[in-house]
């Protein structure tokens, strides 16, 4: 069966390609039919992630995030959905439940607007769970059957790994990204994320074959977290990128074996 990408899906794919090359590669490693689901969700992630950063005016940033919350509410309530190259295809792939869940995913990104540090470990974990975790849940459950607890353990690990990668940029923007930025604190957070990753991996059977491509986006997670656990100083220097050949081969291995 031939799967046709309409103009909206093509626009979502182009947006992800420009702004999030890792997720673009992960989506391209998925079956073609799965890409029509993944690209709109990943495009939503691009739009929401950048909304707090495109202006220095907090009120405008708040309004941008509220626009996405309103759009998701339209999907959740089954109302007429606004015409938009990302929202329109999203309305075709998100269930009302997942659209409602993603409202909190947008709401937690308000932290990005301001310069206040996280209040405590619970606040940090909530941010990661509702951002990276909910993104994994939405993508996987839009594709097929998948247990939420396993997805959230995996999503936490992916979120922490990507957070570590973003720290130099966050600090340059005047944010305080970690509760404990010491080597011991960084190492402890990496170990916590690895523990949750191992928990998710031990329950692979809870993720159906159809849902599995949503987890390809975390294919570098274990490598990054192990690297930080062994050498926490690499976070500050931003030395957490795989070489291009290793990056591509490791994704191919994940997609071909299904062992995320």
Angstrom distance (rounded) from CA 255 to CA 260 = 8
Shared-domain flag, residues 92 and 121: no
Shared-domain flag, residues 196 and 256: yes
Q: Does 159 score more than 90 pLDDT?
A: yes
49-97 residue pLDDT tens: 999 999 999 999 999 999 999 999 999 999 999 999 999 999 999 999 9
Shared-domain flag, residues 122 and 97: no
* Cβ–Cβ under 8 Å, residues 96 and 90: no
Angstrom distance (rounded) from CA 222 to CA 157 = 8
Shared-domain flag, residues 202 and 130: yes
Shared-domain flag, residues 96 and 140: no
User: Bridge partners of 30?
Assistant: none
Q: How confident is the model at residue 4 (pLDDT cuts 50, 70, 90)?
A: confident
Range of the domain at 24: 1-114
Q: Which of 78, 96, 114 is the last residue of a domain?
A: 114
pLDDT of amino acid 1: 53
Shared-domain flag, residues 123 and 102: no
For the segment 219-244, the average pLDDT, to the nearest whole number, is 96
Strands (E), 33-151: none
Shared-domain flag, residues 128 and 256: yes
Q: Which of 114, 143, 164 is the last residue of a domain?
A: 114
Shared-domain flag, residues 131 and 105: no
For the segment 131-152, the average pLDDT, to the nearest whole number, is 98
29-47 residue pLDDT tens: 999 999 999 999 999 999 9
Q: What are phi and psi of 76, to 5 degrees?
A: -60, -35
Structural domain count of the chain: 2
Shared-domain flag, residues 122 and 40: no
In angstroms, the first-to-last Cα distance of the chain is 27
């Amino acid at each position: 069966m031939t799967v046709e990408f309409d103009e909206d899906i093509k626009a979502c794919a182009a947006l992800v390609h420009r702004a999030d090359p890792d997720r673009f590669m992960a989506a391209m490693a998925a079956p073609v039919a799965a890409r029509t689901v993944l690209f709109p969700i990943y495009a939503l992630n691009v739009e929401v992630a950048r909304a707090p950063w495109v202006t220095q005016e907090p009120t405008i940033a708040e309004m941008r995030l509220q626009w996405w919350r309103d759009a998701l509410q339209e999907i959740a309530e089954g109302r007429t959905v606004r015409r938009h190259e990302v929202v329109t295809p999203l309305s075709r792939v998100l269930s009302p439940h997942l659209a409602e869940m993603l409202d909190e995913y947008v709401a937690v990104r308000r932290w990005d607007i301001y310069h206040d540090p996280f209040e405590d470990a619970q606040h940090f974990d909530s941010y990661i769970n509702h951002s990276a975790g909910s993104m994994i849940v939405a993508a996987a459950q839009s594709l097929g059957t998948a247990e939420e607890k396993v997805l959230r353990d995996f999503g936490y690990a992916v979120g922490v790994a990507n957070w570590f990668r973003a720290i130099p940029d966050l600090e340059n923007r005047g944010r305080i990204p970690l509760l404990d930025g010491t080597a011991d604190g960084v190492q402890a957070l990496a170990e916590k994320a690895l523990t949750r990753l191992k928990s998710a991996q031990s329950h692979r059977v809870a993720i159906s074959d159809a849902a599995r491509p949503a987890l390809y986006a975390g294919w570098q997670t274990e490598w990054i977290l192990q690297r930080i656990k062994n050498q926490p100083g690499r976070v500050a220097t931003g030395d957490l990128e795989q070489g291009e050949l290793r990056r591509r081969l490791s994704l191919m291995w994940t997609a071909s074996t299904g062992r995320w």
